[in-house]
């Protein structure tokens, strides 16, 4: 039986069986603690260039379907046909792949889909030990090798170490939409059974399918725009507000997006950001970012709202974060701001906002619904902000 090898840059080697495509893949090894939602994880553009290690011991029970992907509109997928199934992870490492698919919506198995999309994976390894290594030593460069790609351990370690690090990686341009597209309000919303109540310009830094859908359910027409779009192209749409999406890579490399955000704030437009968008807004407000030891990737991470005292159970996927302390207030070029949310587990900044109410962002994913829906209210909060802007005539 053929073997597969997962190699870490610190020289540790894990031997198992091929899972998915056979070959070679390189990326940053990270772990996700979610017990469900592997299809959403694999198709999330935020995982671009990362090898995901699943902590759940059995993976693949519900197979693969045509509905739950999160990559519609991103480069390499077809937003016109609704193809949201592009897998963005560099590789996948699991303990025990299920032998039988059991779900009425499944169209194929997880392994068959990994093969079809040529995603190299590994199964049968001790993922508990691997995750402990990543927790103790931090996320690190890694590779999965199988078939003809397998070589001596020293050679494989050398290949792993010769790849670029995630710190300093500018990746949003690799996952963004090529030309942009529009998501119309859902039927039965708005003032005319689908007529747009508001228009939002959404900057696609790696946007997930469900985000425009959440806006559409609230009567918002969403113009999803490439990450390279300029301020003039945004203001030409005369939007009621601007949205900054999630995405992969190091926010310290996104200087152009930060300047665009500063332009949006200077124009007085309401702004809402999530995940990578939170880091971009934070940088636009003068904060710095840093690479976390192993990040937050899971669906049960508690976040404290320091304005209301509410704790939300959230879905997260990030390896970078903003500098700051819980409840901290600070001056910006756009007025006073504060750190609005922090992680209850480790105090990581999970949200910032302008005290004027014009802009706010969170580090987690309010569009995700892998169990709790605690954070969905943030879309309502943004719509309320749009209503206030429309009433005051601040539309660009």
294 annotated as ligand-binding: no
pLDDT tens for each residue of 274-293: 999 999 999 999 999 999 99
143/11 same-domain check:
yes
Q: Flag the least confident range among 124-128, 201-205, 314-318, 389-393.
A: 389-393
Among candidate residues 40, 275, 296, 353, the one labeled active-site is 275
How buried is 83 (Cβ within 10 angstroms: 0-12 exposed, 13-18 middle, 19+ buried)? middle
**Site of tokens 């103790």:** 136
| pLDDT at residue number 2 | 83
276 annotated as ligand-binding: yes
- Label residue 370 by pLDDT band (50, 70, 90): low
In a domain, 167, yes or no: no
The structure's pTM equals 0.94
**Site of tokens 């309010």:** 366
100/177 same-domain check:
no
| Whether residue 365 lies in the annotated active site | yes
In a domain, 166, yes or no: no
In a domain, 182, yes or no: yes
211: domain CATH number is 3.40.50.880
| pLDDT at residue number 348 | 98
158 annotated as ligand-binding: no
Could you tell me which residues are beta bridge partners of residue 21? 120
Among candidate residues 48, 223, 318, 365, the one labeled active-site is 365
150/178 same-domain check:
no
In a domain, 14, yes or no: yes
73 annotated as ligand-binding: no
In a domain, 125, yes or no: yes
128/200 same-domain check:
no
179/274 same-domain check:
yes
39 annotated as ligand-binding: no
pLDDT tens for each residue of 59-103: 999 999 999 999 865 444 444 334 678 999 999 999 999 999 999
326/277 same-domain check:
yes
192/319 same-domain check:
yes
* Residue that is last in its domain, among 127, 161, 195: 161
Lookup: tokens for 172: 């949003």
| pLDDT at residue number 98 | 95
| Range of the structural domain that residue 53 is part of | 4-161
- Label residue 186 by pLDDT band (50, 70, 90): confident
For the chain, the average pLDDT equals 93
Query: CA–CA separation, 29 vs 11, rounded Å?
Result: 13
* Residue that is last in its domain, among 98, 131, 161: 161
**Site of tokens 């500098």:** 323
| Whether residue 367 lies in the annotated active site | yes
Structural domain count of the chain: 2
In a domain, 326, yes or no: yes
Average pLDDT value for residue range 29-36: 96
* Residue that is last in its domain, among 161, 196, 229: 161
326/247 same-domain check:
yes
């Amino acid at each position: 039986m053929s073997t597969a090898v997962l190699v870490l840059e610190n020289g540790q080697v894990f031997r198992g069986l091929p899972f998915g495509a056979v070959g070679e893949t390189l990326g940053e090894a990270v772990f996700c603690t979610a017990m469900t939602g592997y299809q959403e994880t694999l198709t999330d553009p935020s995982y671009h260039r990362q090898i995901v290690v699943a902590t759940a011991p059995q993976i693949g029970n519900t197979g693969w379907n045509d509905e739950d992907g999160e990559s519609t509109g991103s480069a390499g997928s077809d937003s016109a046909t609704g193809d949201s199934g592009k897998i963005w992870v560099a590789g996948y490492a699991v303990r025990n792949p299920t032998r039988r698919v059991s779900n009425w919506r499944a169209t194929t198995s997880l392994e068959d889909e990994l093969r079809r999309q040529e995603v190299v994976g590994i199964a049968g390894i001790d993922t508990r030990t691997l995750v402990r290594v990543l927790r103790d030593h931090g996320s690190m460069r890694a590779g999965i090798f199988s078939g003809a790609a397998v070589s001596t351990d020293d050679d494989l370690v050398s290949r792993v170490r010769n790849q670029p690090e995630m710190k300093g990686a500018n990746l949003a341009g690799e996952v963004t939409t090529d030309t942009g597209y529009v998501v119309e309000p859902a039927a039965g919303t708005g003032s005319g059974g689908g007529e747009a109540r508001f228009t939002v310009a959404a900057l696609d830094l790696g946007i997930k399918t469900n985000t425009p859908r959440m806006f559409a359910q609230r009567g918002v027409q969403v113009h999803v725009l490439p990450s390279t779009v300029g301020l003039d192209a945004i203001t030409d749409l005369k939007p009621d507000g601007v949205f900054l999406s999630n995405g992969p890579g190091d926010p310290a490399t996104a200087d152009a997006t930060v300047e665009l955000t500063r332009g949006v704030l200077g124009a007085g437009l309401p702004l809402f950001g999530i995940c990578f968008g939170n880091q971009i807004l934070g940088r636009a407000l003068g904060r710095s970012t840093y690479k976390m030891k192993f990040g937050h990737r899971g669906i049960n991470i508690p976040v404290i709202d320091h304005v209301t005292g509410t704790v939300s159970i959230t879905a997260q996927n990030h390896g970078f974060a903003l500098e700051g302390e819980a409840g901290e207030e600070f001056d910006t070029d756009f007025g006073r701001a504060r750190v609005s949310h922090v992680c209850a587990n480790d105090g990581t900044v999970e949200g910032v906002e302008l005290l004027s109410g014009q802009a706010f962002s969170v580090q987690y994913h309010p569009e995700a619904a892998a169990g709790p829906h605690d954070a969905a209210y943030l879309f309502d909060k943004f719509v309320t902000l749009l209503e206030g802007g429309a009433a005051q005539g601040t539309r660009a």
